[in-house]
Structure 1
């Protein structure tokens, strides 16, 4: 999967922009506040229909304008695909090959991306919400069923929490309706946990190999799914749903008193263990960064296995956060494997020596300036008298 061309119209600080990309590594060089991260963000938004930097779509539109548009040409194994995302005051519209999708969820998966930004180093030491968001965003790209179940779960959860608050304030008294909502939530909640456990098991396999390579076999990394359901990783989907329903029944009074749902996948977490020790708690900063790097890079192979194609990799100023050894491992992993977009104020000597034939773009005040590619040196051959004689013979 490759993004061959991108067109921006009133997106962030880009009034109009059109650019063609290399199928290998594209380096976006620029100082702060010039637009290099905005360009990377536009690719993410085109793929995910939402930004990783803001929940306010209005911020994606150029100041003083009413709407923004992102267009992209994607080359997939089955052929080319034209994507278009319109962002306006009244929401977003997404099209694939000029056909508008009724729901944004139907559009997801047309262009798969993996984003690795400095804040992703908080994947390990950050709050559980960071890891849940990671799971939902990444797995939702490759599994329409997971995305559907997650959307359904969030809708039911919102209804159930609203009704719990009404019961808490005595605005409502019908606990039969609460039981109906609990049954619905438990059914889809069990499906979500079951899928998460399977996805994480596969991701763990890829991450272990990468982590052992980075640490030269000195460390073994494992994942542990931490759930409000006891022994969740060992239960079937049906058993998970039954266990959730039992928790809702046993703790009904407690949930009404607090006015919120206390059990389910929206409360779950993932622990990363290094040699059986929780790296969030006991790991050094170096171990935490190596773990985050291994997990993010493992997504590349996971998506390839799930979809049949490699995703597009977006690296937002990550090199400056990694030491030489981790830079080397990152760049060797992606070289000749996945189309990559890398933002940086400037390339380090390590990066310049490792990246083969990058296409470099300089970003200045919302302008994309391709760096002139070095011309191939050609030697002019002037035949001697002896050569001419030989040719005639």
Structure 2
């Protein structure tokens, strides 16, 4: 899978951009606050219909504009798919093959991306919500069913929490309705946990292999899924459903007293274990970095195994956060394997040696110019002009 190019209209600091990309490594080179991360964000948005940097879609619309457009063509083994997203104050519209999609869940999955940024260390060091978000976001790209179930779960959870607050304040008394909501939440919760366990089981296999190589066989990485019902990989969806039902019955009085749902996958966590110890708590910074890198690189192979296509890799200023050994492993892992977009203020000596035939775009104030002295010519020329140097429409 690769993204042929990108068309932006009033997206962040890009007023009007048309650019074609290399199928290999695309380096976005420039000083800070010039638009490198904005371009990476646009690719992420094109894939997932939302940003990783803001929860407010209006932030994506350029200054003094009423509407923003993000569009591109995705190449897979046997298909070429045009994708288009429009953001306005009224909301967003998503099109696949020029046809508007009634549900965003039907759109997501046409372009799969993996984002790796310095803040991804929070995957290891951060709160449980960070790890839950990681699981939901990545697996949602690979499984439309999981994406649907997760959306339904969130909707019912909001309803149940609202009703628990009404019961807490004595504004409602009907425990039968609470039981209905509990039953629905248990059903979707069981589906989500079963899928998570399956996903993590597969991801762990790839991550263990990567981690062993990076740690030079000195460390063993394992995953431990933590939740209230002690869910295990061998349990069926029906068994998980019954376990949630039992827990809701036991915790009903406490949940009404606190006015919130205390049980469910929205409270679960993922522990990373290195040589049997929780790396979040006991690991060194080097072990935490290696764990985060191992998990991210493992996703590449897992997505290929599940979807049949390699994802697009987005590396946002990651090289500056990695030592030489980890840089080397990262760049060797992606070379000639996945289309990669890498933002950086400067290419280090190691990166220059290890990246074969990159296309380098210099970025300044939302304008792109291709550095042809080091770029390949395999389909990376701009759509604007014959010389391929200027990719920003004025």
Measure the CA separation in 2 of the matches of 1:286 and 1:30: 28
Label 1:221 to 1:87 Cα distance change in 2 as closer, same or farther (>3 A).
Answer: same
Label 1:324 to 1:70 Cα distance change in 2 as closer, same or farther (>3 A).
Answer: same
Measure the CA separation in 1 of the matches of 2:220 and 2:19: 42
Label 1:231 to 1:65 Cα distance change in 2 as closer, same or farther (>3 A).
Answer: closer
User: What is the TM-score normalised by the length of structure 2?
Assistant: 0.94
- Aligned match of 1:235: 235
Please show how residues 244-393 of structure 1 align to structure 2 within 5 Å.
Answer: 244-373=244-373
Unaligned residue ranges in structure 2 (runs of 5+): 377-394
Contact 1:168-1:259 at 8 Å conserved across structures: yes
Q: Does 1:80 align with 2:89?
A: no
User: What is the TM-score normalised by the length of structure 1?
Assistant: 0.94
- Aligned match of 2:380: none
- Aligned match of 2:167: 167
Summarize deviations over 1:335-366 as a string: whole Å, max 9, x none.
00000000000100010000001000000001
Tell me the SS of whatever aligns to 2:305: helix
- Aligned match of 1:126: 126
Q: 1:373 offset after TM fit, Å?
A: 3.9
Q: Does 1:103 align with 2:88?
A: no
Measure the CA separation in 1 of the matches of 2:75 and 2:193: 34
Aligned residues: CA RMSD? 1.0
Measure the CA separation in 1 of the matches of 2:375 and 2:20: 19
Q: 1:121 offset after TM fit, Å?
A: 1.0
Contact 1:93-1:100 at 8 Å conserved across structures: yes
Summarize deviations over 1:19-50 as a string: whole Å, max 9, x none.
10000000000111100000000000000000
Q: 1:234 offset after TM fit, Å?
A: 4.0
Unaligned residue ranges in structure 1 (runs of 5+): 377-393
Measure the CA separation in 2 of the matches of 1:323 and 1:283: 17
Measure the CA separation in 2 of the matches of 1:17 and 1:25: 20
Measure the CA separation in 1 of the matches of 2:270 and 2:81: 36
Measure the CA separation in 1 of the matches of 2:59 and 2:375: 41
Q: 1:232 offset after TM fit, Å?
A: 3.6
Contact 2:358-2:375 at 8 Å conserved across structures: no
- Aligned match of 1:24: 24
